Amino acid sequence: MNLSLRRSTSALLASSLLLTIGRGATLPFMTIYLSRQYSLSVDLIGYAMTIALTIGVVFSLGFGILADKFDKKRYMLLAITAFASGFIAIPLVDSVTLVVLFFALINCAYSVFATVLKAWFADNLSSTSKTKIFSINYTMLNIGWTIGPPLGTLLVMQSINLPFWLAAICSAFPMFFIQIWVKRSEKIIATETGSVW
């Protein structure tokens, strides 16, 4: 693996970890947030969470299919921008409907990022490297889910909005990492150079 590819892979693995920490710091506390901020009953919170997660999954399927048609680097940056925007917006809005829609946006963006990340690895890594990198990525996800919820617990004891701000900050670093260090996908470059005008 050359230096550029190693740098790109490391940046993407770090991004995967940071985004998972941000999501892990907020997802377990959405029920508490909806209960405290909007005084929703348990059944309404369940409906709201189900709707948000379902919308996120359904839309991410469509966007995941499009992953091979666009530059994966740009696609990941757009997904992270949507992810960060959702976390910034939730503490600022005063509507349950908007919170549910932004939470759906967050889940969709996270799923799209994860799908495009794997597609980038598949396009750019050798068959011997793929297994190792996919394994490291799953380890990063597990570490993120191990760190995120306890960190969210510490923050939510200070302020109910702090986990959302943490998630937004966690997503700022991946935007920088990907913009600076991740190279464009080899397939996109090959397609552009091989096209005839």
Question: What digits encode the pLDDT tens for the residues 62-83?
Answer: 877 777 788 999 999 999 999 9
Report percent pLDDT > 90 for the chain.
Answer: 76
Cα Rg for the chain, rounded, in angstroms?
A: 18
As a whole number, mean pLDDT of residues 7-19 equals 97
- Higher pLDDT among residues 69 and 96, named by residue: 96
Considering the segment(s) 12-188 as one domain, its CATH architecture is: Up-down Bundle (1.20)
Whether the Cβ atoms of residue 17 and residue 143 lie closer than 8 Å to each other: yes
Question: What digits encode the pLDDT tens for the residues 17-53?
Answer: 999 999 999 998 999 999 999 999 999 999 999 999 8
